[in-house]
Amino acid sequence: MGRVVLVTGASRHLGGLMVRALARDPGVARVIGVDVVPPHRPLPGAEFIRADIRNPVIGKVLRSADVDTVVHMGVIATPMQAGGRTAMKEINVIGTMQLLAACQKAPSVTRVIVKSSSSVYGAGPRDPALFTEDMSPQHPPTSGWAKDSVEVEGYVRGFARRRPDVSVAILRLANVIGPRVETAMTEYFTLPVVPTVLGYDARLQFVHEDDAISALHRATSSGISGVFNIAGEGIIALSQAVRRTGRPSVPVPGALLGIVGRGIAPTRLVDFSREQVRFLTYGRGIDTSRATRDLGFTARRSTAVAFDEFLGGYDLSPALAESVISGVTSAARMLTTRGGSRA
């Protein structure tokens, strides 16, 4: 008998990818996508229920469909997507509480997978180069999505204690990037001028959207419990990333980044909250060896490759810079050659 999987946040890009991946999985009998808004793209082979996870109706869905696996991807990263920070916090925190309360009462549920974020580690000067899952943050996040993710993980741990028969996996994803996904980071790198923090160069780590889905899929089918860091191999410096986009960057003092950023992009979902500014100042790295060892998952694309695929998808490249530098290089080579042959 195949499994019955419920996916929250199914109408957004990653949720949709996850639903489609599960629908293709022969081990899965039914996939039920849940979200408050209808999906932008069709979800072939899956069912969609327009429901709010903050509403107890979700419990009925779990019971009536005999759901055994819940994949919670309904945590929203930017206020713009939710219609304000208050609504975002409500969806993230209250939504998770309701969902887990419903799971707790549903005996059919045997497996819960939660998409979390590496932002729970915070960002700051006293951070180790790479965080392992057991390390506690040196600079715990105090606001925004990161804080929500910390609270969500807290509720998930509480749920795991109350339902020890359920296997619970939390996946802390590095910033998801790729040719199609839209996040605060993809918006940031597509700004006409990219504001960076003066005097700092953050270490960034990305995971390709398809790798993120593979990791979640893997966790769904393996039934293993625990917390896992998920990221592409290696890191890329913020300055290096901006250079690869070919966009000009303007370094501004960290305290002014928010003002400058919002001035450049007043309507976009790019994030310049305090927490995000800290991240763009210090960056963060996570150690993925536990996922490799216990989950059997390694991202196929490194951080740098994932970033380059994002550039490809958004048609960004340092083309102008490249033509200028090739011109200068060949001119310089010619001069060097003349000088050399005369010598």
Partner 1 sequence: MPDARVIPLDPEGHQPTATPSPRSTFWDFVRRRIMGNYVVDDFGFDADLTEHLLLPPLRPLFERWFRVEVRGIDRVPSEGGALIVANHSGTIAVDSVMTQMALFDHHPAHRHLRMLGADLVFDTPFVGEVARKAGHTLACMPDAQRLLSRGEVVGVWPEGFKGIGKPFSERYKLQRFGRGGFVSAALRARVPIIPTAIVGAEEIYPMIGNISPLARLLGLPYVPVTPTFPWLGPLGLIPLPSRWIIEFGEPVHTEDLVGDIDDPMAVLELTDAVRERIQQSLYRLLVQRESTF
Q: Shortest gap between Cβ of 299 and partner 1 (angstroms)?
A: 14
CA 326, 331, 337 angle in degrees (round to 5)? 120
- Picking from 212, 213, 211, the residue whose alpha carbon sits closest to that of residue 301 is 211
Could you count the other beta carbons within 10 Å of the beta carbon of residue 148?
26
Please check whether residue 18 is in contact with residue 82, taking contact to mean a CB–CB distance below 8 angstroms: no
| Residue 308 CB contacts under 8 Å (≥ 6 apart), including other chains | 244
The region that residue 166 occupies, defined by phi over 0 for left and psi between -120 and 50 for alpha, beta otherwise, is: beta
Q: Shortest gap between Cβ of 23 and partner 1 (angstroms)?
A: 36
Specify the residue, 155 or 200, whose C-beta has the smaller distance to partner 1: 200
Please check whether residue 2 is in contact with residue 27, taking contact to mean a CB–CB distance below 8 angstroms: yes
DSSP lists the bridge partners of residue 252 as 197
Residues that bind partner 1 (CB under 8 A): 125-130, 132, 135, 198-201, 203, 234-237, 239-244, 282-283, 285, 304, 318, 321-322, 325-326, 328-329, 332-333, 336-337, 340-341, 343
Q: Shortest gap between Cβ of 303 and partner 1 (angstroms)?
A: 10
Alpha carbon separation from 293 to 128, 228, 252, 271, 309 (Å, rounded): 21, 10, 41, 34, 27
- Picking from 112, 116, 101, the residue whose alpha carbon sits closest to that of residue 165 is 112
Q: Shortest gap between Cβ of 183 and partner 1 (angstroms)?
A: 20
Specify the residue, 130 or 277, whose C-beta has the smaller distance to partner 1: 130
Please check whether residue 155 is in contact with residue 95, taking contact to mean a CB–CB distance below 8 angstroms: no
Specify the residue, 214 or 245, whose C-beta has the smaller distance to partner 1: 245
Burial of 288 (0-12, 13-18, 19+ CB in 10 A): buried
CA 153, 75, 274 angle in degrees (round to 5)? 85
| Residue 290 CB contacts under 8 Å (≥ 6 apart), including other chains | 132, 133, 226, 228, 229
Specify the residue, 108 or 326, whose C-beta has the smaller distance to partner 1: 326
Specify the residue, 162 or 333, whose C-beta has the smaller distance to partner 1: 333
Q: Shortest gap between Cβ of 178 and partner 1 (angstroms)?
A: 18
Q: Shortest gap between Cβ of 270 and partner 1 (angstroms)?
A: 20
**Residue 215: both structure tokens together:** 């990791």
Specify the residue, 27 or 253, whose C-beta has the smaller distance to partner 1: 253
**Pairing label, strands 28-35, 111-117:** unpaired
Q: Shortest gap between Cβ of 248 and partner 1 (angstroms)?
A: 12
Specify the residue, 189 or 228, whose C-beta has the smaller distance to partner 1: 189
Q: Shortest gap between Cβ of 227 and partner 1 (angstroms)?
A: 17
Specify the residue, 108 or 337, whose C-beta has the smaller distance to partner 1: 337
